A and B are shown apart, each in its own frame.
Chain A
């Protein structure tokens, strides 16, 4: 073996080692904090002591259920996320169908319009929605919250449905129509079932996004209608206690369950796609 070949093998080894090291460090960086807060959520101590805990209990999970502001926040958040997800899924999926079927030149522009709320900083949406709501005399916090959350979730439902429709042949509904089906029938029987995965993914994203939202909600809540994230943020800023660790752990488990369901329903591989060069 020549010396240059030796050098290149050594270089490869070194590069491979570096890449592997970086990869493992990244995964650990992503996972360790969540594991630590998971372990701390079972801490039996009354104060936040050094890690690891010396005794374990479920006291912080109990304390969550004993805190009325968390419980009422949880219900507000669930109602809000459900309602916003339903509205934005219906509206967004409808718009995506219309966009996928059209061939006009304005299509790109309208698509950008629907995705535009994603590029607006969420604080700006919350702030401007508050001014707008009071200008049109809407003072009910829950109504304001729904307005704000529909706006921020629509891009996701439009995007996910459009992505789901890529696999659906564009001419399919036209074929059904040319065979004599009325357009609404073609839509219900041909397009809708095929786009199901995209719609479900979009609805899930909308729900998750709304359920965890802070920047819009912080402007639109009031003293009587608080969402769970806003209650949690207030708690975290006031004093650190481990009730939030319990909530965080539950959230982490829910996220993993959602992903497990997504994998079952659609397959993670299919959601992300394998790219042009893999079959």
Chain B
């Protein structure tokens, strides 16, 4: 058995699985999204239509997408802001124990069940929780319907913070501490070194982290499902409701196709940005 045969043997099960279990189902979904909806029937209808898509341009539906992007964006921005000091500390500390402690915390959180975390957030920040007063503090009482948005925001933030921090640790570690030392030794105050030396060098990493975190937020399903209390629905939840409540499979498929296109665009934009900002020799 030669090397190339071995390679083919190792690759083919994976390629087969991807073709059968990813490409085929998504192709089928894309076709289904062009089918007319006949109440009470799942699939098997004939004829083609764009109605499932035109329907989604109505303001009522566009609002779900707007909610998804707005809350997702705010949560991602907050995650980046809060992750920066933590990632910085982990990347630059000289105490190994502190480093392992931060890593342990972050990886434990990544491995911890999201449902468990969301439940904990509901018990802490929810209307019955000890931190419910936070809502009153920011002008959105915990019992008001709008507070669902705050809770979804908190849930998303808690979900993506470990991810953002771990990615940013990587970014900061790959910025040479020598540059900061040089700037400091020339008399620049540390905050100005951070803003004028470290931050510009970290921009590509920060942008990449932001895009990944943002993508994770807007494609999330469980956080709005549990913390949204039916008031906040993301596009993902809308897709599920279409399927579970009224069995409108074609409309759900259309939402799925739109989400897929959005996700693809984001990945493309992310790679384009990173490619533009990072010189080619650093990438490899």
A residues sitting closer than 8 Å to B (CB atoms) are: 8-9, 11-12, 14-16, 19-20, 22-23, 25-27, 29-34, 36-37, 40, 48, 50-52, 90-92, 94-95, 97-99, 101-102, 110, 113-114, 116-117, 119-125, 127-132, 134-135, 147-148, 150-151, 154, 158, 174, 177, 182-184, 187, 204, 208, 211-212, 214-215, 218-219, 229, 232-233, 236-237, 240, 244-245, 247-249, 251-252, 255-256, 258-260, 262-263, 268-269, 271-278
Contact = CB atoms under 8 A, between A and B. Distances in A.
A182 B249 CA distance: 52
Those 7 A-B pairs whose CB atoms lie nearest each other, nearest first: A275-B173, A248-B116, A132-B25, A121-B219, A15-B191, A37-B120, A128-B25
Nearest to A204: B111
Contacts, number: 297
Given A30-B105, A120-B22, A154-B14, A214 B115 contact: yes
B221 A120 contact: no
A184 B111 CA distance: 34
B189 A12 contact: yes
Contacts of B219: 121-123
20 contacts: A9-B189, A11-B189, A23-B85, A30-B162, A34-B117, A110-B11, A120-B260, A121-B221, A127-B29, A130-B243, A131-B28, A131-B32, A177-B3, A182-B1, A183-B3, A214-B222, A219-B243, A269-B99, A273-B173, A277-B175
B166 interface: yes
Contacts of B28: 128, 131-132, 135
Contact of B11 (A40, A94, A130, A269): A94
Given A255-B113, A263-B100, 10 more contacts: A29-B157, A32-B124, A36-B129, A37-B124, A120-B263, A131-B32, A131-B43, A248-B116, A255-B108, A275-B173
Kindly name the residue among B109, B111, B194 whose own CB sees the greatest number of chain A CB atoms within 10 A: B111
Contacts of A121: 219, 221, 236, 256, 259-260, 263
A105 B29 CA distance: 31
Interface of chain B, helix or strand or loop or mixed?
A: helix
A35 to B, nearest CB: 8
B161 A114 contact: no
A110 to B, nearest CB: 7
B221 A268 contact: no
Given A248-B115, A255-B111, A22 B174 contact: no
A24 B172 CA distance: 19
A95 B11 contact: yes
A178 to B, nearest CB: 11
Interface in B223-259: 225-226, 236, 239-240, 243, 249, 252-253, 256, 259
A13 to B, nearest CB: 10
A12 B194 CA distance: 11
A36 B124 contact: yes
Interface residues of B, number: 98
A91 B18 CA distance: 11
Interface of chain A, helix or strand or loop or mixed?
A: helix
A139 B17 CA distance: 19
A117 B119 CA distance: 27
Kindly name the residue among A29, A124, A249 whose own CB sees the greatest number of chain B CB atoms within 10 A: A124
B280 interface: no
B24 interface: yes
Contacts of A128: 25-26, 28-29, 253, 256
Interface in B92-113: 96, 99-100, 103-105, 107-109, 111-113
Contacts of A247: 116
B170 interface: yes
Contacts of B215: 119
Given A123-B236, A129-B25, A268-B104, A95 B252 contact: no
Contact of A252 (B100, B116, B175, B189): B116
B7 interface: yes
A19 B22 contact: no
Contact of A98 (B11, B120, B192): B11
Given A123-B236, A127-B253, A215-B222, A272 B22 contact: no
A260 B100 CA distance: 11
Contacts of B15: 95, 110, 113
Given A92-B14, A255-B111, A123 B256 contact: yes
B125 interface: yes
Given A15-B191, A94-B11, A232-B115, A131 B249 contact: yes
Nearest to A244: B119
B120 A248 contact: yes
Contacts of B239: 123-124, 127
A9 B43 CA distance: 70
B122 interface: yes
Contact of B108 (A211, A245, A256): A256
